[in-house]
């Protein structure tokens, strides 16, 4: 028997089978500010402002890309039903991909969730778990968008509204035909789709959004960002993220080229398109992927990604520590300039741009870390971060696939504590915690096969006990393995002699490392501590590896970390054999390891 809106049963619904989500809408979340009584999202008369949604770029019927998933915001006017209260309804959903993506929010006291079921074209079914954070009290660090007001019959309140995109894993190579929602009072579903954004792509370069600071302001300027590829390929696409934003941003035009020197391109930059258009408006909290472009991307090379901002941008999502000079132009669209003449200012961060993918390939290794992974204290413009050295080693070997390497390090980042709160303009660009950014910065990357977690020293130096760091690391391992991602961890480096690293902190560091070495929670452990520590003073780095601040390795130490990684440790099961006739690597489908939601 198929359930219909409100939990009732009907023979007509049973004959119809699964229905499109919008046919099941039975609740109204959005009201016009002038008519708040037309909606009652939470059962107490409160609702979401249509004007706030429009200001964020979330307009009726708009397709939003969040965490690599394309989701359509309900296309009805304010005051019409726009979401379904999850009560076991069968929803018609089709596609093949790595995850289901739900645009959701909960109403009630705290998060709400339950178990659902996915039906496939071959007749099989699998279970999943879905949890929606509360629309008014849920974490800002993981929200898709936050809005500034709550509408009520008695007037508008200045209070944050949150909407979330939550993904749950799917078995590889199965065609979804329907999804049964959980029975979970208070769980509201606005949109649902199958995510397949990574299919056929390998991540070659990436940078995590570390914060949302004031910039410029930039009016009509072109940014030319320099990024260093890991894997090469015959096609390219780039990704822009408007993470943490409250308003849309407009990319007027964009182009890609191989760097010659500085801001000068090797040849005329090639224009990118977005759904066939020259540019794209990116709603608050959303992403834009460029269309596939036949452009040979060399591995281990610097690309120039240029984009023109036709409007005024006063704050932007950035990756602060680039360890790479990029460039800002004089006013005007200079995306097609091969010359560096118009690019008169230097940038030391990467705003808005978060990914460069290449067509084909075996997938990506994602390195989740802090400033040591980010490349702090490495040589400017030299690409001597340990992820760069690791990528070079993978390109030069043939024992395992030549994975792309994605550097998702953020200087100052912690495992369990948010430095940046996840909302609003802030001078803190140390990011939300690894626990809170894991879905966006690891699972939603293009074809992640293996992840390495190398964090914890900033937590310990800030006074977080080892037990809490261990609990956070365990959670990351469980969540990654539930998605079929091979999960590795690296031991925490010694920091004796640096500020904030007394003997008590070293004792906590030793406790975390002992747990990593003996815990069996991760698929493998990289003992980076053993690589760089001074045998005569184990709480300190060897002087030859120390950058001088006793916390960050220099170029030599970073190279030693990368060179200690056995490539075979990075290959998931099923990607360790190559055809003797075609030379292609086998690529086993990623298994569904668990039905839990993350």
Do 116 and 177 share a domain, yes or no?
yes
pLDDT at 591: 32
Averaged pLDDT score across all residues of the chain: 93
Name the domain count of the chain.
Answer: 3
- Please check the confidence at residue 524 and state whether its pLDDT lies above 60: yes
557/543 Cα distance (integer angstroms): 9
Q: What angle do CA 514, 517, 518 make, to 5 degrees?
A: 85
582 falls within a domain: no
Q: Note whether residue 597 is domain-resident.
A: no
Q: Report pLDDT digits (tens) over 394-439.
A: 999 999 999 999 999 999 999 999 999 999 999 999 999 999 999 9
Domain boundary among 361, 395, 416: 361
**In the structure, what pLDDT confidence band is assigned to residue 574 with cuts at 50, 70 and 90?**
low
Given its phi and psi angles, is residue 57 left (phi above 0), alpha (psi -120 to 50 degrees) or beta?
left
Q: Do 357 and 237 belong to one domain?
A: yes
Rounded Cα distance between 120 and 173, Å, is 10
If you average pLDDT over residues 528-545, what whole number do you get? Answer: 98
- Residue where one domain finishes, among candidates 361, 388, 408: 361
- Strand 249-251 and strand 280-282: pairing? antiparallel
Domain match, 165 and 208 both: no
pLDDT for 586 beyond 70: no
Beta bridge partners of 466: none
Residues 256 and 368 in one domain: no
Q: Which of 308, 248, 245, 314 is nearest to 282 (CA)?
A: 248
- pLDDT tier at 585 (50, 70, 90 boundaries)? very low
Residue 592 lies in a domain: no
pLDDT tens, position by position, 270-297: 999 999 999 999 999 999 999 999 999 9
- Cβ contacts of 237 within 8 Å, gap of 6 or more: 201, 272, 289, 290, 291, 292, 293, 356, 357
Q: Kindly indicate the confidence band of residue 562, based on its pLDDT and cuts at 50, 70 and 90.
A: very high
Query: Residue 593 falls within a domain, yes or no?
Result: no
Question: Could you give the CA distance from residue 206 to residue 227 in angstroms, rounded to a whole number?
Answer: 9
Over the stretch 95-146, which tens digit does the pLDDT of each residue have?
Answer: 999 999 999 999 988 999 999 999 999 999 999 999 999 999 999 999 999 9
β-strands 364-369, 448-454 pairing: parallel
- Give me the mean pLDDT over the 170-192 stretch: 95
Q: What is the pLDDT of residues 448-493, one digit of tens each?
A: 999 999 999 999 999 999 999 999 999 999 999 999 999 999 999 9
> Above pLDDT 70, what percent of the chain?
93
195, 213, 238 - which closes a domain: 195
Q: Average pLDDT in the 534-548 region?
A: 98
Cα distances (Å, whole numbers) of residue 278 to 155, 251, 331:
42, 9, 19
If pLDDT is split at 50, 70 and 90, which confidence band does 33 have? very high
What mean pLDDT is predicted for residues 379-385?
Answer: 98
Distance of CA 300 to the CA centre of its chain: 23
- Predicted confidence band of residue 173 (pLDDT cuts 50, 70, 90): confident
The Cα–Cα gap between 467 and 59 comes to 45
Q: What is the pLDDT of residue 592?
A: 28
The domain of 175 spans: 5-195
Q: Are both 539 and 392 inside the same structural domain? A: yes
| Same domain, yes or no: 458 and 550 | yes
Q: Indicate whether 399 and 416 sit together in one domain.
A: yes
Q: What is the mean pLDDT of residues 529-546?
A: 98
Q: What is the spatial distance between Cα 99 and Cα 196, in angstroms, rounded to a whole number?
A: 8
Assess whether pLDDT exceeds 70 at residue 5.
Answer: no
In SS3 terms, 7-47 reads as HCECHHHHHHCCECHHHHCCECCEECCCCHHHCCCCCCCCE
Is 584 inside any structural domain?
Answer: no
Angle at 501 between CA 498 and CA 506, to 5 degrees: 130
Q: Label residue 389 by pLDDT band (50, 70, 90).
A: very high
C-alpha R_g of the chain: 24
Give backbone dihedrals phi and psi of 458, rounded to 5 degrees, phi first: -70, -35
* CATH number, residue 388: 3.40.50.1110
CA 548/CA 525 separation, integer angstroms: 27
Query: 206: Cβ–Cβ under 8 A, 6 or more apart, which residues?
Result: 354, 355, 356, 366, 406, 407, 408, 445
Q: How far apart are CA 212 and CA 317, in angstroms?
A: 4
Residues 367, 351 share a domain:
no
pLDDT at 172: 81
How high is the pLDDT of residue 62?
98
Query: Same structural domain for residues 306 and 292?
Result: yes
> Is residue 586 in some structural domain?
no
The rounded distance, in Å, linking the Cα atoms of 132 and 114 is 9
For residue 1, what pLDDT is reported? Answer: 30
């Amino acid at each position: 028997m198929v359930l219909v809106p409100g939990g009732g049963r009907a023979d007509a619904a049973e004959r119809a089978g699964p229905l499109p989500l919008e046919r099941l809408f039975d609740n109204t979340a959005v009201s016009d500010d002038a008519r708040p009584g037309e909606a009652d999202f939470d059962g107490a008369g409160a609702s979401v402002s249509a004007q706030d949604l429009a200001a964020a770029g979330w307009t009726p019927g708009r397709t939003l890309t969040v965490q690599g998933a394309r989701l359509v915001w309900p296309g009805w006017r304010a005051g019409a039903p726009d979401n379904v209260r999850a009560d076991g309804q069968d929803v018609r959903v089709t596609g093949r991909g790595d995850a289901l993506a739900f645009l959701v929010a909960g109403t009630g006291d705290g998060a709400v969730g339950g178990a659902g079921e996915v039906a496939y074209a071959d007749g099989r079914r699998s279970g999943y778990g879905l949890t929606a954070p509360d629309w008014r009290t849920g974490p800002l660090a993981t929200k898709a968008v936050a809005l500034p007001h709550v509408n009520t019959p008695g007037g508008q309140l200045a209070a944050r509204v949150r909407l979330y995109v939550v993904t749950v894993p799917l078995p590889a190579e199965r065609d979804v035909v329907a999804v049964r929602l959980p029975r979970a009072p208070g769980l509201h579903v606005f949109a649902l789709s199958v995510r397949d954004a990574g299919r056929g792509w390998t991540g070659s370069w990436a940078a995590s959004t570390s914060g949302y600071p004031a910039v410029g302001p930039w009016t009509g300027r072109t940014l030319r960002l320099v990024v260093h590829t890991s894997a090469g390929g015959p096609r390219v696409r780039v990704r822009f993220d408007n993470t943490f934003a409250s308003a849309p941003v407009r990319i007027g035009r964009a182009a890609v080229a191989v760097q010659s020197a500085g801001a000068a391109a090797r040849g005329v930059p090639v224009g990118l398109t977005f759904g066939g258009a020259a540019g794209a408006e990116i709603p608050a909290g959303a992403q834009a992927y460029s269309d596939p472009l036949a452009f040979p991307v060399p591995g281990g090379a610097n690309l120039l990604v240029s984009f023109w901002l036709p409007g005024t941008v006063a704050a932007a999502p950035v990756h602060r520590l680039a360890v790479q000079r990029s460039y800002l132009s004089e006013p005007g669209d200079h995306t097609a300039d091969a010359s560096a003449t118009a690019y008169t200012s230097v940038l030391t961060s990467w705003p808005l741009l978060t990914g460069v993918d290449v067509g084909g390939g075996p997938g990506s290794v994602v390195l989740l870390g802090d400033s040591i992974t980010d490349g702090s204290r490495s040589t400017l413009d030299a690409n001597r971060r340990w992820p760069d050295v690791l990528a070079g080693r993978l390109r030069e070997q043939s024992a395992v696939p030549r994975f792309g390497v994605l550097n998702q390090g953020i200087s100052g980042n912690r495992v369990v504590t948010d430095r940046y709160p996840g909302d609003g303009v802030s001078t803190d660009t140390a990011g939300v915690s690894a626990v809170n950014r894991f879905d966006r910065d690891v699972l939603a990357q293009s074809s992640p096969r293996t992840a390495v977690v190398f964090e914890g020293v900033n937590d310990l130096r800030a006074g977080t006990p080892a037990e809490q760091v261990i609990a956070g690391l365990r959670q990351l391992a469980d969540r990654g393995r539930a998605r079929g991602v091979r999960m590795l961890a690296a031991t925490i480096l010694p920091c004796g002699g640096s500020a904030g690293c007394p003997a008590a902190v070293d004792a906590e560091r030793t406790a975390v490392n002992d747990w990593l070495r003996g815990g069996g929670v991760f698929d493998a452990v990289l003992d980076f501590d053993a690589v760089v520590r001074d045998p005569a003073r184990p709480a300190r780095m060897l002087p030859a590896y120390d950058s001088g601040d006793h916390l960050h390795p220099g170029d030599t130490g970073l190279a030693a970390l990368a060179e200690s990684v056995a490539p075979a440790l990075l290959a998931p099961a099923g990607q360790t054999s190559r055809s003797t006739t075609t030379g292609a690597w086998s690529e086993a489908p990623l298994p569904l390891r668990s039905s839990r939601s993350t």
